[in-house]
Chain A
Amino acid sequence: MDNNVELHQKKDLDKTNSEHEHTWQAELDEIQLRQQYAEKLGGEKNIKRQHDSGKLTSRERIHSLLDEGSFHEYGALTGKANYDQDGNFIDSIPSNIVIGKGKIKKQKVVVSADDFTVRGGSSEAASPEKMVFAENLALDLQAPLIRLVDAAGGSIRLLEKNQSTKIPGYAQWNMAEMMGQIPVIGVALGPCAGLGALRVVASHFSVMVKGTSQVFAAGPQVVAPGVKENVTKEELGGSQVHVHKSGAVHNEAKDEYDALNQVKKFLSYLPSNIYKLPARIPSSDPIDRCEDELASIIPRDKRKVYKMRKVLELIFDKDSLFEMRKHYGRSTITMFGRINGYPVGIMANDPYIYGGSMSAESAEKIENFVDLCDTFHLPIVNLVDQPGVSIGSQAEAKGTIKKAIRAMMTLSQVNIPWSTVFIRRSFGVAGAAYAPRGRANVRYAWPSAHWGSIPVEGGVEAAFRKELGNAEDPEQKLKDLIDYYKRFESPLRTAERFGIEEMIDPRRTRPILAEWVEEAYDQLPQLVGPRGRTMRI
């Protein structure tokens, strides 16, 4: 039994301490009895089946997620009760959703957890009122909402139960408003179809367990007759589909504990709501740690790549990085991290993927990530090595340019402190999408930085096509032209004209950002509250 409930009962409900039975003793006993049925969920047999398939029950998941003894349940008695001929309570089967509030690292959260042990998570045993209550409770309490989803979705048998049909949706549930006010997290812990899929995906952070959870608009049994496609649950909506290809779900977890730990980690960087500030966690990592490796990590040969995640590890607080959507839009890396204990959003390019360029997928990832940071007032550090928008006919067919412009507009609308560090390249349309416009924001550049509307290599070939065609030795001519234009490429020439605010030694990036983040957090109290955004293309 939940510790909280136990405590309440021990504290003031123990009848042995009183001399005579209370007036309402029978009812008090019945409440306790009904509580016990709620604890039993779908019964021992179904719980064993859940465990055998590598899954936890709703109550075990809640226990693993929340601080010890912090769960306060609502609606424990909801369910289907059986009565004897005289109308006396015999037993009951609880509804298959457990809701309540609790704490994660002492911060209040609201949890709703489906239970697959009660009638296979079927909507026949569901209580939509409870589900919607949890959503609205989170909004009222201005506390993060965590949905632990493990539900089979709609059932045609409901028609008989309700003796009618209903128009889909819940009038009292305002998903969009929630997304603008409190952190919402969706965790897929089993097959999540229809409404279940929606509850996972309509979130700021979603995570699914590899192999045991699937997300889809409709499952294989509906897909087969509907579109004549025979697929397994995993082929249709496993993590290979939604984490690695579609990007509908942010992260993959190796098991349920990993998924719940990712939820706790994600929340540790965010405030409880848009009116509060992200919490600083003091760090033992010295702010003046200047790693020598940073002065050589970018190869002099522009054709050679390097590992951006290594760069990030050398700069940010030790063990503070948390990556989201690692497998989607991979040419851009999006992470939360800390510097001197202050949480920040981090964006960086990965030269190993598309050369780090802005693909359709990475543009969408940037838009989503920047909106997330802006909503919860998390300052952003952008480490730029941007060769441009992805090129070629495949990229054009995906409308990459439009998606890149959407990402650019997203950046231009934010209201958070922003720091840009130019690591290497910054070219073309995507090269202009590195920071908000019209705001004082300091830009730093490493000596390896270079930029422009078009790179010298490639740019020379395009501009001098005719001359190169007519040249006696086209190769030599090309080399001469490249050498000539390269002399203008040094970032120090840009600095002469105040085109960049500060050229820095890469080793000093950490102390410089530590100073910046302090100033950023000084600004934040004036920036909290709801964010308005205009239409984007």
Chain B
Amino acid sequence: MALTEVTVEITGSIWKIEVSEGVQVEEDDTLIIMESMKMEIPLLSPVSGTVKELKVKEGDSVSEGEVAVIIEG
């Protein structure tokens, strides 16, 4: 099973986490909603699989390129 690190695309804050560890996700499902540039910007899953680890929590400030979620699939 390959692990995919999902990195945040933009510097901002974690506004809402839409998944929890262990749940199944499909490609293009929303994992996290970031708040940046006064907008809610969804972070989509690049692959289908299981959420193995959430590296961030709501309210965290994150920089572009930081790993937010690890998907196994």
Seen from chain A, the residues whose Cβ lies within 8 Å of a Cβ on chain B are 302-305, 330, 351-355, 357, 387, 391-392, 394, 455, 457-458
Asked whether any CB of chain A lies closer than 8 Å to the CB of B53, the reply is no
Q: Which residue of B lies closest to A455 (CB)?
A: B38
> What 6 pairs across the A-B complex have the smallest Cβ distances?
A355-B37, A392-B11, A303-B40, A457-B38, A354-B10, A355-B39
Given A353-B9, A355-B36 in contact, is the A394-B64 Cβ separation under 8 Å? Answer: yes
B-side contacts of A303, CB under 8 Å: 38-40
Measured between beta carbons, the chain B residues less than 8 angstroms from A391 are 37
Q: A352 to B63: give the CA distance in the assembly, Å.
A: 16
Q: Any chain A CB within 8 A of the CB of B19?
A: no
Judge if B47 is at the interface, Cβ distance under 8 Å: no
* Beta-carbon contacts under 8 Å, B22-42 to A: 36-42
Whole-angstrom CA separation of A392 from B64 in the bound complex: 10
The verdict on B44 contacting chain A, using a C-beta distance below 8 Å, is yes
Q: How large, as a class, is the contact surface on chain B?
A: 10 to 19
* Closest Cβ neighbor of A456 among chain B residues: B38
| B37: chain A residues within 8 A (beta carbon) | 354-355, 357, 387, 391
Q: Enumerate chain B residues within 8 angstroms of A392, measured Cβ to Cβ.
A: 11, 64
Q: How far is the CB of B34 from chain A (nearest CB, A)?
A: 9
Tell me which of A302, A304, A355, A458 contacts B10 (CB under 8 A).
Answer: A355
- Verify B38–A302 contact, CB threshold 8 A: yes
Is B9 a contact partner of A302 (Cβ separation < 8 A)? no
Q: Are B41 and A351 in contact (CB under 8 A)?
A: yes
- Residues from chain B with a CB closer than 8 A to the CB of A354 are 9-10, 37
Residues of B within 8 A of A305 (CB): 39-42
A91 vs B3: C-alpha distance when bound (angstroms): 53
- Asked if B11 and A394 make an inter-chain contact with CB atoms under 8 angstroms apart, the answer reads yes
Determine the distance from Cα of A404 to Cα of B37 in the docked complex, in whole angstroms: 18
Across the interface, name the chain A residue whose C-beta is closest to B40: A303
The answer for the CA separation of A303 and B65 in the assembled complex, in Å, is: 22
Given the complex, which residues of A lie within 8 Å of B39, measured CB to CB? 302-305, 351, 355, 387
